[in-house]
Every structure is written in structure tokens, then in C-alpha cells.
Amino acid sequence: MTERYTVNESALGALVAAIANSGRRVLGPKKVAGRIDIGELTSFAELAKDGQSMVSAKGTVFPKVERLMKYRYAGKDVVLDDVEPGAAPTVLFGVRPCEAHAFAALDVVFNWDYKDKFFNTRLANTTVVAVACTQADESCFCTSVGSRPDDAAGSDILLSKLKSGGYMAEISTEKGKAVVALAKDVFQPLTGSADVVPAATVAPAFDAKALEQKLATKFDNPVWLEQSLRCLGCGACAYVCPTCVCFSIEDEADTRQGHRLRTWDSCGLRMFTLHASGHNPRDKQSQRWRQRVYHKFAYYPDRFKTLGCVGCGKCSRACPVDMNLKQHLAQAAQTP
Amino acid sequence: MEELKLKAKQLLAAGTVKVVIGYGTGTGDVRRPVFVRSADKVDDLVFDGSCTQNLATYLTKVEVRAMGRMAIVAVPSTLRSILQLAAEKQLREENVLALAMLDGSMKELAAFDAIEETVATIPDAISATDQAMMDKLTAMSVGERRAFWAAELNRCVKCYACRSSCPMCYCERCTMDCNRPQWIPVASHGIGNLEYHMVRAMHLAGRCVQCGTCGAACPIGIPVHLLTFFAEGTVRRQFGQKGGGSAKLDYAMSTFKPDDKEEFIR
């Protein structure tokens, strides 16, 4: 049952302070040296209110490096030491609805056939306060993947700017209510409608369901080679993406002890599918590019009944050679 | 630009080249690499001040080479990369045709000699912004510089956009992906990031044409190009040799000369 409040702009500073005082760290998009990074927010003023961060906030639940366990030799025995996830209570403040939406796509993998304690502990300790978008850019395509710039799905609290100043706050979870309780005076109960600033206009670029069906017959189509000629095969798109979840396991050790790490990995990298035999089933960039598209738009819906993409456009903005995913998908959807 | 399109049209129609690697219009205001393979698509090509990315990295891309003889729209750094690739035996003269874009006009350069001559007339240019940053870093104490790079490289996610966009990083098996032995940690923690960037800078010292494409490629906004600029600059000062000056190999880091002025080597 969604609770609705209004919050004054000036009161949001008090909210951020109250959250920090409760022992939670506040992370959100902030301007640093001309970029927008995800960083520690000490005030509401620090929040970047236009645009979105280049990297996603997935690092709060799925860090780029995470220690899973340690081991050491004790005489002839090997001793395994479990590692507890370092999950500081966190409020993600000021992320976009697309970002909030993305945690579900990570969740289906991390709770698939094995319940990942690292992801789950971190997610349980993370509260998501999203801000609805009143502007979008040419890379955005949330409306093509079943979402909207003012979608509350996935957020514990959604803030929408009011025409008169301040924000409407929609609280849809217990976690959200717990944050409200930290600064009750800041939240004024709202009855009736609120005059919100209209959400950004994001014209749909393709129909995701139709695309999924089309992909079923386009595996050997030359369009993948065409689209991937400029692709450099780096991991930029996968690493900034809030839904990309592939990882590698690395051991770092000497002759006495070591630890096992989980790190981000990308299907765009050549070595992703390289076998120990030397065979590589995806040896060409076109195969790897096709995999990215199919994984997010065909395999994910087939297996998990949800898309593996939230249309945030971070991949397109981060790509050194402008592999604009929205354009590529619109083209693929129209491939005869 | 019209000169370029006309030339591309002629080359493709006659089959003299099988692909023209150039710049096209991307999302919003950006320029992106395009691969024009038929004469009726030359209008995809654009050229203006925003075309700065070094496209030479595609000259060693398997899928592009497989097309046949390549023409490439070349800014000065691309010409230098062609020379360095030639020196390292990664390019054959008959497989590449440079369409040099200099001071608003196009010059067709087929032979490596011709490219060398042209490159010799173009002054090396590091942008004012980059030079200012390098001066700032040079003026720092070692401790300050270490803190600067530790903070920057901590943000690195090991996406390898820098390596992938660099024309000189063409190795099919990068030494830093090797795990028997594991030369450097793969993981993107502090030391893993630092060692990767240090090794890359050392592998480029004497080979780097200072195009800055690696820094522009970084999605995190780390000025990684400054590391290779510094390494390259050091080689130029200390050895008088440089990356991208000649189609004949002149590589300080792997050349021993009997008249080396250092005594310790004897």
C-alpha cells in the first residue's frame, strides 16, 4: 500500500543528515570534476539533479571486487575461512527509476538456483530512494522496455518534483517507511492529487515483445556483423550497466595462503568464452555483440520472465565508439 | 569533406579498396567510426573538428582486415600509428591507403615513405589542456603524485577500453591476461589497477603516438593517456627516439647499440 507525502526542498537537507546520523551511508549521483559519479553524499545540495551517473549503482550490491573466502595452509591441512559480506547499511539517494528497476534483474540471477549471501546481505541493507526524470537524452529508452521516467517499481521511495517546488514522495515498502521514520517532520502526508512536473517524454523506439520474437529467427543474420564492426570488445558497456551480472572468480595466493575473489566480467571480452583447450565458441566480435543483445532481450525474458535491460542508456554513453543500444535494437527489430 | 567523399566513391567503385574506414555522425553531436564498403554509402562519411579519435586500431581488427585493402581517413595521429604499425610488421603497404586530412584538405598517401615525409612536416601537438595537466603533475611532489594517481586509478573498473581503443595494443594475447604465470592481478582493486596501467605505460614507452584516444575512451573519466604521454615523453627526451616517426623500427626499449653511452652494460 503506497503512502504519499510531500517534502520541501529545504527539508531534504535535513533528511540526508538524518539518514547519515542513523549510521547509514548515503550514496548517490554527485558531480565530481565535470562527471557524475556515484559517491558519498553529505548534503542534498551535492546531489546531481540533472542527468545520470556514468556508472551504475550496482556496486553497492555487486561490487567490482569482492572477497568470497580465504584459505591458508596449517601444516598439511588447508583451512578455509569464510568471509562475511561487508554490507554497510546504505541509502542510495537520487538514482533514476531505471536504476531502481535494475535490482530485480540482478536478483533473478543471484537467487536463481543458489542464494548468494553476498548479494542478498547487501541488498537487504540497501534502501533505494529514486527521483523521477523530468528530462531525458538521446540514449534513454526506458519506455521501450516496460518502464517510465516516473516508474516507482524497484524503489523504496520515489521522489517526483512538484511544480510549486519540493517533491512528492511515494513510499511503497517497509524499508522506505523506516527512512521516513528517521525524519518524520520532513514528510507531510498528502491527500488528493499533487501537481508534479511532467515526466520526461521518451518516445518508444521499439517493442520489446516483438523484438524477442524477431530475435528467435535472426541468429545467423548479417546484421550482427554490421552493427559490431566498430565495437572494440572492451567491457565498458557491461561494467556501467546496472543489470549486467556476469562475474569471474579469481584466486590470489602465494604458497602459504590466498583468497578467492569475485570480479566483474563481460561477454564482450574475447576471453569470456575462451576454453582451456584454446577453442573459443565466440571468437568473433559479432558473436559477442549478438550475445549481449540476445542475453538481455531473448534469453532473460525466456528464462526469468523479465528483460535484462532497463533502458537507462548508460552503455551508449560510456561506449568509446558510440554503440547506441537503442539504435541497434530499433534496427534489429526492423530487420527483414 | 566533399573531396574525401568523392575520393572514397572512386576508390570503392573501382574496387581499389574494399572498405573506407572513416568517421560518421553518431548520437547527438558525437562522431563514431564507420566502415563504408560501397560507393553509394559514401555520404555516411563526415569530417570536421570533432573527428579526433584515432581510427588506426581498426587496421588490425580481424573482421576489417578480412574485407581486403583498407582506406582510412587519417588525422595526424592515425598517420603516425600507421608508421608504427608498419615498423612493427603489423601492416603491409599494399593493404592500407591513408586519406590524410590536413588543414582542411585531403591528401592520398599510398606509400609508407610518403606518410613519413608528410608526418615529418606536422609538429607534435599535445593539447593545451593535457599539457597544463602534465605540468601540474610534474610540479607535484612524488607523494602528491602518488596520491593523485592512487585516487584516480582506484576508480578504474578494468574494462580495458583504453587497451581496446589503442592502435598499438594489438596483441591477441595481452601479457596482462596471462595467468600462467599471473604477472599482475586481474581484479580491479588498487594494486591490480595500478599495475595494469603501469605495465601498459611501459609497453607503450617509445611506441605511443600521443593521440589521447585511450583517455577519451575511458568511461570513468580517468586521464590514463597522461601516463602513456609521460612514458613516451621520457623516451623521446632520454633516447631521442619516438613512436610513429618512421616505418622502420626504432624502438628504444628493445634495441641494443654497441655504442650505447652507458658503461654498466659492458
ipTM of this predicted structure: 0.94
**What's the one-letter identity of residue B106?**
M
Please state the separation of Cα A322 from the chain's center in Å: 20
Q: How far is CA A164 from CA A160, A196, B31, B224, in A?
A: 12, 8, 40, 45
Helix (H) or strand (E) holding A247: strand A247-253
Question: How confident is the model over B141-162, as pLDDT tens digits?
Answer: 999 999 999 999 999 999 999 9
Nearest Cβ partner for B30 among A240, A269, A322: A322
Percent of chain B with pLDDT over 90: 85
Question: How confident is the model over A189-237, as pLDDT tens digits?
Answer: 998 888 999 999 999 999 999 999 999 999 999 999 999 999 999 999 9
Give contacts of A54 with chain B, Cβ < 8 Å: 219-221
Check residue A147 and report its DSSP letter. -
Choose, out of A229, A289, A292, the residue to mutate when testing the contact with B (most B CBs < 10 Å). A229
Cβ separation B157–A322 shorter than 8 A: no
Please state the separation of Cα A27 from the chain's center in Å: 14
- Going through chain B in order, the beta strands assigned E by DSSP cover 19-25, 31-36, 70-74, 96-102, 105-109
**Distance (Å) from the C-alpha of residue B188 to the closest C-alpha of chain A?**
6
Give the 3-state secondary structure of residue B121.
Answer: coil
Cβ separation B159–A238 shorter than 8 A: yes
Taking the C-alpha atoms of residue A228 and residue A226, their distance in angstroms, rounded to an integer, is: 6
Give the 3-state secondary structure of residue A92.
Answer: strand
Q: What order of strands is seen across the sheet that includes strand A247-253?
A: A77-82, A65-74, A257-264, A247-253
Average pLDDT over residues B210-225: 97
Which residues are A250's β-sheet partners?
A261
Choose, out of B44, B154, B158, the residue to mutate when testing the contact with A (most A CBs < 10 Å). B158
The answer to whether B57 faces chain A, any CB pair under 8 Å, is yes
Which grid cell is A88? Answer: 554497510
The answer to whether B161 faces chain A, any CB pair under 8 Å, is yes
Average pLDDT over residues B95-111: 95
User: Where does the pLDDT of residue A259 fall: very low under 50, low under 70, confident under 90, or very high at 90 and above?
Assistant: very high
The answer to whether B159 faces chain A, any CB pair under 8 Å, is yes
Residues within 8 A of B (CB atoms), A 70-109 only = none
What is the pLDDT, as a whole number, of residue A335?
A: 85
| CA-closest candidate to residue A131, choices A35, A7, A40, A21 | A7
Cβ separation B30–A271 shorter than 8 A: no
Check residue B182 and report its DSSP letter. B
Tell the burial category of B52 from Cβ atoms under 10 Å away from its Cβ (0-12, 13-18, 19+): middle
Cβ count near A291 (within 10 Å) = 18
Identify the weakest region by mean pLDDT among A10-14, A310-314, B132-136, B163-167. A10-14
DSSP assignments along A254-294, one per residue: -SSEEEEEEEE--TTSGGGG--TTS--TT-SHHHHHHHHHH
Contacts of B144 (CB under 8 A, 6+ apart): none
Please state the separation of Cα A180 from the chain's center in Å: 24
Cβ separation A138–B28 shorter than 8 A: yes
The answer to whether A249 faces chain B, any CB pair under 8 Å, is no
Q: Name the packing angle between helices B142-154 and B190-204 (round to 10°).
A: 110
The answer to whether A139 faces chain B, any CB pair under 8 Å, is yes
Between B210 and B104, residue with greater pLDDT: B210
The answer to whether B68 faces chain A, any CB pair under 8 Å, is no
Average pLDDT over residues B99-122: 95
Nearest CA in chain A to B55: A230
| CA-closest candidate to residue B3, choices B77, B76, B122, B107 | B107
- Chains A and B: how many Cβ contacts under 8 Å? 103
Choose, out of B160, B173, B184, B224, the residue to mutate when testing the contact with A (most A CBs < 10 Å). B160
Give the 3-state secondary structure of residue A266.
Answer: coil
How many degrees, rounded to 5, is the angle at CA A289 between CA A288 and CA A290? 90
Taking the C-alpha atoms of residue A312 and residue A328, their distance in angstroms, rounded to an integer, is: 15
Report the mean per-residue pLDDT for chain B. Answer: 94
What is the pLDDT, as a whole number, of residue B266?
A: 66
Nearest Cβ partner for A233 among B53, B164, B188: B164
Average pLDDT over residues B113-137: 95
CA Rg value for chain B: 19
The answer to whether A14 faces chain B, any CB pair under 8 Å, is no
**Distance (Å) from the C-alpha of residue B266 to the closest C-alpha of chain A?**
37
Helix (H) or strand (E) holding B192: helix B190-204
